């Protein structure tokens, strides 16, 4: 958790950020709890020391035959023992409140983080590419996917409920192609690929800052200390938990995983198609570096560029936005989102999110390194999506559609799609449509 001394020094700023991130925590109450726990801890230590000293004194008095004096001191010990019990009981209550509040203290945000209350207030930094203009009636990804036999949402709902789907045939191939392209790109840039556990312990969720605030978004395995991950960022950070790391060079890892999110609070939003689903797949970039703001800022630009390069390879129009304080999670210090043009929405939709978390996760998960001064310091951690599918299939299908219903495949994807330049409708589908 955050350093209480740091919180005390910048209390007003922490409260401003908490309010901006819509986190219900009172920094004043936290500082009061901290003061009270210090007072009670000192009183408890004083009473224990007195008890130990008096116990030794009783032994000496009894050895000297001074039983009456020993009895008097024994009575004092009894009184102090009762007081100690009361102090420890109150300390336990205060500590529970202290920990509750500390877990909800947000990470401070960078000086260049925009003000704002929602994603509508995010600041556009750069726009790359031009949204296509079709000289035919364009289809959305659902119509294209059904026509081409790429996925089946109707049967997905039948089998698993709302926001579920089956990928099949070329839909599955296309998803795996995008993932492998992302992995190969990151492999060339020094990332170590990792297939990660899909279930983690509660400690891992707290250690990465996804709990307690994001608990309603996660699926719990009933009867076990296990949760399904919403991103491989969680197991990748937890992989290094409690370790002293060699960070002469940043650690770069790329997690491949299926992810699960309950989407609580999104009822009625994006229910059609593949934009907001309960189960999806990601290739996630995670970087751990020394606790140096210049270094972690450079790495934030690097991992963001990786995602942009992937979109360039996929020939998709996109924009980069600086995320405002009201759209940031508890753990993030600075964040960029990359939004890709989705014709059916008539707007850009988020496909990537890059964050510099500073030492927020490192403090919780115990990620440290030995500095040049020979002392242990907390690391900085960063993360960014390299590819999230099936959401990324939406702009791929919609931007690259042709009038005949086929889908153009950019050259970067073709080696993973059997060398084909297009995904064309199966003959059986075309025949049924003609009939």
261, 290, 363, 364: the catalytic one is 261
Residue 346 region, left (φ>0) first, then alpha (ψ -120 to 50), else beta?
left
Among the residues of 189-283, which ranges form H helices? Answer: 202-207, 233-239
57, 350, 421, 430: the catalytic one is 350
**CATH fold match for the domains 4-102 and 119-434:** no
Q: What is the DSSP letter of 414?
A: G
Give the Cα separation of 168 and 423 in Å (integer). Answer: 13
pLDDT reported for residue 63: 81
User: Known catalytic residue: 305?
Assistant: no
Q: DSSP characters for 32-58?
A: HHHHHHHHHHHHHHHHHHHHHHHHHHH
Domain 4-102, CATH? 1.10.287.40
Q: Cα-flanking dihedrals φ and ψ of residue 141, to 5°?
A: -65, -30
232, 257, 353, 355: the catalytic one is 353
DSSP element (H, E) containing 342 = strand 334-342
The series of mean pLDDT values per 10 residues for the chain, 435 residues long, is 95 98 98 98 94 82 81 85 95 98 98 97 98 96 95 94 95 98 98 98 97 93 96 98 98 97 73 90 98 98 98 98 98 98 97 98 98 97 97 98 96 98 71 43
16, 74, 276, 345: the catalytic one is 276
User: Known catalytic residue: 74?
Assistant: no
213, 257, 391, 398: the catalytic one is 391
Q: Who contacts 120 (Cβ-Cβ below 8 Å, separation ≥6)?
A: none
- Domain boundary assignment for the chain: 4-102, 119-434
Q: What share of the chain is helix, strand, coil (3-state, %, to 5)?
A: 45, 20, 35
User: Known catalytic residue: 350?
Assistant: yes
pLDDT reported for residue 54: 81
Give pTM, 2 decimals: 0.92
Give the Cα separation of 60 and 56 in Å (integer). Answer: 7
Are 13 and 108 a contacting pair, CB within 8 Å? yes
Q: Who contacts 316 (Cβ-Cβ below 8 Å, separation ≥6)?
A: 129, 340, 341, 395, 396, 399
pLDDT reported for residue 73: 82
Give domain 119-434's CATH number out of 3.10.180.10, 3.30.930.10, 3.40.1520.20, 3.10.450.50. 3.30.930.10
Residue 419 region, left (φ>0) first, then alpha (ψ -120 to 50), else beta?
left
């Amino acid at each position: 958790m955050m350093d209480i001394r740091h919180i005390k020094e910048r209390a007003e700023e922490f409260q401003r950020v908490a309010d901006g991130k819509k986190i219900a925590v009172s920094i004043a109450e936290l500082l009061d709890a901290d003061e009270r726990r210090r007072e009670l801890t000192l009183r408890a230590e004083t009473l224990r020391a007195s008890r130990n000293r008096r116990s030794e004194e009783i032994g000496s008095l009894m050895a000297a035959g001074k039983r009456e004096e020993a009895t008097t001191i024994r009575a004092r010990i009894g009184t102090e023992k009762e007081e100690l019990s009361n102090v420890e009981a109150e300390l336990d209550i205060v500590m529970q409140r202290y920990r509750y509040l500390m877990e909800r203290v947000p990470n401070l945000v960078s000086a260049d983080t925009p003000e704002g209350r929602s994603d509508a207030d995010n600041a556009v930094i750069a726009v790359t590419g031009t949204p296509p203009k079709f000289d035919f009636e364009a289809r959305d990804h659902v119509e294209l996917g059904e026509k081409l036999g790429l996925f089946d949402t109707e049967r997905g709902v039948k089998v698993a409920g709302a926001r579920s789907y089956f990928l099949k045939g070329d839909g599955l191939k296309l998803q795996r192609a995008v993932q492998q392209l992302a992995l190969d790109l990151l492999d060339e840039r020094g990332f170590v690929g990792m297939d990660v556990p899909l279930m983690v312990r509660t400690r891992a969720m707290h250690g990465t800052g996804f709990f307690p605030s994001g608990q309603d978004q996660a699926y719990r395995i009933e009867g076990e200390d296990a949760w399904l991950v919403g991103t491989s960022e969680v197991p990748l950070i937890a992989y290094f938990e409690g370790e002293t790391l060699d960070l002469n060079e940043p650690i770069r890892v790329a997690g491949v995983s299926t992810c699960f999110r309950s989407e609580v609070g999104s009822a009625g939003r994006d229910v059609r198609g593949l934009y907001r689903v309960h189960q999806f797949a990601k290739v996630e970039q995670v970087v751990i570096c020394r606790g140096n703001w210049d270094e972690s800022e450079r790495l934030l630009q690097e991992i963001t560029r990786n995602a942009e390069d992937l979109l360039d390879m996929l020939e998709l129009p996109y924009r980069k936005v600086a995320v405002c304080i009201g759209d940031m999670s508890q753990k993030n210090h600075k964040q960029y989102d990359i939004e890709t043009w989705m014709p059916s929405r008539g707007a850009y939709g988020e496909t990537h999110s890059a964050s510099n978390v500073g030492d927020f996760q490192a403090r919780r998960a115990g990620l440290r390194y030995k500095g040049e001064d020979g002392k242990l310091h907390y690391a900085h951690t960063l993360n960014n999506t390299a590819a999230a599918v099936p959401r990324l299939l939406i702009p791929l299908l919609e931007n690259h559609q042709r009038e005949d219903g086929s889908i153009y495949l950019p050259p970067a994807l073709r080696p993973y799609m059997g060398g084909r330049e297009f995904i064309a409708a199966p003959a059986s589908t075309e025949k049924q449509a003609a009939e």
